[in-house]
Structure 1
Amino acid sequence: MSSDGSPLDVAGISSPSAPGLSETGAPPAFDFSLLLESQFVLVIVSALGIIWLGAHGSLRRPPSAAPAKLKKGEKRRDEEKFVEGLAASDAIRFPIMLAVVLVSLYYLLQWLEDPAILNRILRGYMGIMAIAGLGELTGDALDNLASLIFPAVWADGTGQVYRIDPDRRCQYVIDRETGEKIAIKGRETPLPGRLASLAPSERSRRLLWNIRHLLNEEWTARILLRGVFSAKFNLRASGLLGFAMAAVAAMAYHWTGWDALSNLLSIAMCYASFMMISPTSFGIGTMVLASLFVYDVAMVFYTPYMITVAKNIDAPIKLVFTGSKGVSMLGLGDIVVPGMLMALALRFDLFQHYQKQAKLEPVQLTTEMTSETSPGVTNITTTTTTQHRRIKAPYVDTRGQWGNRFWTTPVGRLLPVPEASEAIAATAFPKPYFYASLVGYAAGMLVTLTVMLMYRHGQPALLYLVPGVTGSLWLTGLRRGELKDMWGYTEDGSLDTEDVVVEVDGEGKVVKQRVEDGLKEEKKESGEGKAETETPGNDGDGEQKRAEKEVSSCELFVFSVTVPPPAEPAA
């Protein structure tokens, strides 16, 4: 946080000639009402809002949840697979890479003497890079908007839960005693509650079902340039529309340079960073933040590089807010760096939620021991013990669940009705670690602003944000007695075991677990293993050959988008 506006800092009040000290050498008096200035409030609210969105957007199936059962012919979505995140070596590599980039920009500016040339290049480059992030952000926002209009479940004023079946094109309730699905006559519409009155005719209802189908189903796009290139990928209507809107916004920013568009692209880049970058464990995340903490302090206090580059670079690498006290700038690094660990905390909360939903099923384990009592005589001793197999709860995708939560939450309540299990599992799970990190981040921002305004001198924001976020998380683990669980949690895939046999004590608590290799049948039966082990390169070669056979010899270029056909209502 700096009055000079570095990319990793916030700009506020200009530094006086004798910054930070009064004539007596004591710190100057500070008016805390300055923190209520609109520009500083926007800085804190914007940072917290972006982190909240990015953390929830990064949610995926935790290792403690079982993959959702697939329909016939359906493939596992890529975002459910665990990918490699930051490693311990990144704690050294990141500061070095950032320092090299910063110093290079500093001397490039000195050589060019005119920053306008570099700014045009960076604005064009960053605008193109932001299109992907803004497309994803806009697509996810459109998905949530569509879920508010076409939810999968809703509840009336009495708490009765209605579920919407797109295959049968009806709404039904579940009998609490028999578990039977009972279709509700007169509700052959995809709209919930009072919105159902907007589709009185059969024709209008059919149109709404088709619109719901187009918005919710994945499209398949295929591009073929004969003998040169072939690709096949899945997309959604929201993603396609979001990408188009992102391209328009990026071009408008390139030509106008408006701060509002720059802020929008900066938000999108932060959101995309949460999707792509994540520490694999709390230990690694803390190490990375600690190394960037040292980097930020060194570059702001002991070198001219950060301040000089920040003064001259005009690109979507920061949020800019104008107020009565000047221009405030919040750099993306102050959001993404601590936000990565905060997003991990939210996924850890989800991991714990599903871990508590797991059930223990008794299983008999047989052990055979061979012993030779005399020459030529062998005895076989069979021992049978009762252990417990941990059965994971199936994962509920968070996408589109915010609409379900809205329509199943009665007026005046914060949580959905108990029968809306999907909305509760996806959005209303306990979040103690994530909320603690939000409090720590907000406290760090307030301290940074206070020190900056009090001493009228730029402050490296990570100097206060890193202790605030890491301290709040580890103190929460200490208070809850879960430090061992925090330290052992990892997203490198090692915890994503399918069949685990555990030993429990007299109180039913797990004291030991081990994986049984012979209990992995679900994946073999579903055929998922083969689909997931195929590499994109090998599949691409086969796809190109298949695609070339499907087109006639005169077609050199093919671009097609197909949508699964909508289900017809049952007779």
Structure 2
Amino acid sequence: MNRIGILLENNNIDPVLVTYCGLLVSASVLVYCGSYATLHRPETALEPDPKDPLFDSDDLAPQSTVERLEKQDAYLMPVMGACVLVGLYVLIKKVDKSWIELFANAYFTVYGTFAMANAFGNFATFILKKAGFRLTRWKLALQKNPPIGNIKSKINFNGIDNDIDQDKKKEIEKQIVANVTFNSAEFSSIPLAVSISAANWYVGQNWALGNVLSASLAYSTIQLLSIDSFLTGYIMLTGLFFYDIFFVFKTNIMVTVATSLSVPIKLSMPRPTTSSSSSSSTAYSILGLGDIIVPAIFVSLCLRFDMWNHYRQNPGLTYASARTFSKPYFSIAMVMYIISLCVTILVMHIFHAAQPALLYLCPGIGGATLLVSVYRKEWALLWEYKELSENPAEDPADGLSNSNNSTDTERKEK
């Protein structure tokens, strides 16, 4: 990094720009890829058709398990975040930091190994499919009443066979209480994930290996968490907007926790040293995973809304993951994320002080989304959109209006 810094300095380029660009590109790629990882067949699309030229066998795979956040969860997010942050701050002041790092790194190493296997598997699947390879898919299912003795689980290759009677297939699916599906690329990613986790543990938290672990954690968290509506999204953005401002500007708690612990809860980029550097040790610029995950949860909702809206406008269209669709809300949200993060970095560089990134990110992506809905005359549609955790056959917008109609009927009957 010394040579890079001096080379840039000799060409009148501020070496720290390399660090900022690294953080900006890494965060933007994670938000973009994480958002696409949340896509699944919307309620407005018909079942995948094997006769469709765009059909892919993976389109028949069930939706991955997600933790859907509702309004009450969004209200509690700043409160829970504050409790965790203050708790860590107290521990840092009262307990030897090495013990905190030991337990935290042990937890994140285990969870991160699964997260890396998931992220690497998804990336390998995408590349191999683009290259024309066909991947074998397995399904590990936990069944209520298995046909063989008292065995409580069974493995199906390539999912439930498509050549059996459809009624029997549905009956089998009803008896499955939990299942995990994976393909050969995802399975092959496990050794690589274990190797990186082990290397990061024994090397002593190398920044590059730590970033791979942190990025995988962020990607998998974005894929796992989703919000059920734009109302929930705006509650989340508003609450965390004030949360971030308070803990960065009014206290030193967030900065202390972020800089004191060497755990994979942030992306770190080394600053190239120059001839004028006062210290021989490497300085790092950091970006907390919260500044990636929180906006990505909202941005991913915009992408799913774009897909839902596309199929709504084209009734009778069968679902295909390879089918392209217009993405006005997702595109503007991504652009505003990048612009807002650039503004955060610029202000931080000018004032040489930590900045609450959500101060710029939340109004940026939230405000831009509202403006697009007004411009496209889809304000009401945006607010009525709701992703249902149950009864997926129901149109999310219709579900809200049907609920209101039923309520009005009950009132009249009373």
Fraction of identical pairs, as percent:
30
Name the structure with the higher helix share.
2
* Structure 1: tracts of 5 or more residues without a match: 1-31, 152-211, 359-391, 399-422, 503-511, 515-571
Q: How does 1:30-41 map to 2 (within 5 A)?
A: 37-41=17-21
Does the C-alpha gap of structure 1 residues 312 and 80 become closer, same or farther in structure 2, counting only changes over 3 Å?
closer
Which residue identity lines up with residue 334 of structure 1 in the other structure?
A: D
- Find out whether 1:117 has 2:99 as its counterpart: yes
SS at match of 2:39: coil
Distance 2:14 2:333 in 1: 25
Is the CA contact (8 Å cut-off) linking 1:318 and 1:332 kept in structure 2?
A: yes
User: Pick from 242, 246, 251: which aligns with 1:298?
Assistant: 246
Matched residue, 2:41: 61
Matched residue, 2:24: 44
Q: How does 1:354-373 map to 2 (within 5 A)?
A: 354-358=311-315
* Structure 2: tracts of 5 or more residues without a match: 1-11, 52-57, 156-179, 274-282, 404-414
1:47-68 deviation line (CA, Å, top 9, x unaligned): 1111111011111111110122
Alignment root-mean-square deviation, CA: 3.1
SS at match of 2:270: strand
Matched residue, 2:89: 106
Distance 2:213 2:37 in 1: 17
Distance 1:458 1:290 in 2: 20
Q: How does 1:429-508 map to 2 (within 5 A)?
A: 429-492=325-388, 496-497=392-393
Q: How does 1:556-567 map to 2 (within 5 A)?
A: none
User: Pick from 164, 183, 193: which aligns with 1:236?
Assistant: 183
Q: How does 1:253-332 map to 2 (within 5 A)?
A: 253-256=200-203, 257-324=205-272, 326-332=283-289
Q: TM-score scaled to structure 1, two decimals? A: 0.56
- Find out whether 1:218 has 2:137 as its counterpart: yes
Distance 1:255 1:291 in 2: 39
SS at match of 2:71: coil
Matched residue, 1:545: none
Does the C-alpha gap of structure 1 residues 456 and 490 become closer, same or farther in structure 2, counting only changes over 3 Å?
same
Distance 2:93 2:271 in 1: 31
Matched residue, 2:197: 250
User: Pick from 91, 101, 117: which aligns with 1:135?
Assistant: 117
Pairwise CA distance, 1:244:
2.3
Q: TM-score scaled to structure 2, two decimals? A: 0.76
Is the CA contact (8 Å cut-off) linking 2:75 and 2:235 kept in structure 1?
A: no
Distance 2:84 2:25 in 1: 29
Distance 1:79 1:446 in 2: 35
- Structure ID, larger Rg: 1
Which residue identity lines up with residue 337 of structure 1 in the other structure?
A: V
Pairwise CA distance, 1:323:
2.2
- Find out whether 1:395 has 2:319 as its counterpart: yes
User: Pick from 59, 63, 82: which aligns with 1:79?
Assistant: 63
Q: How does 1:370-381 map to 2 (within 5 A)?
A: none
Which residue identity lines up with residue 311 of structure 1 in the other structure?
A: T
Distance 2:154 2:268 in 1: 40
Pairwise CA distance, 1:445:
0.9
Matched residue, 1:149: 131
Name the structure with the higher strand share.
1
Is the CA contact (8 Å cut-off) linking 1:219 and 1:234 kept in structure 2?
A: yes
- Find out whether 1:349 has 2:306 as its counterpart: yes
Does the C-alpha gap of structure 1 residues 302 and 105 become closer, same or farther in structure 2, counting only changes over 3 Å?
same
Is the CA contact (8 Å cut-off) linking 2:43 and 2:395 kept in structure 1?
A: no
Is the CA contact (8 Å cut-off) linking 2:74 and 2:235 kept in structure 1?
A: yes
SS at match of 2:68: coil
Distance 1:248 1:484 in 2: 50
Is the CA contact (8 Å cut-off) linking 1:293 and 1:466 kept in structure 2?
A: yes
Pairwise CA distance, 1:491:
0.8
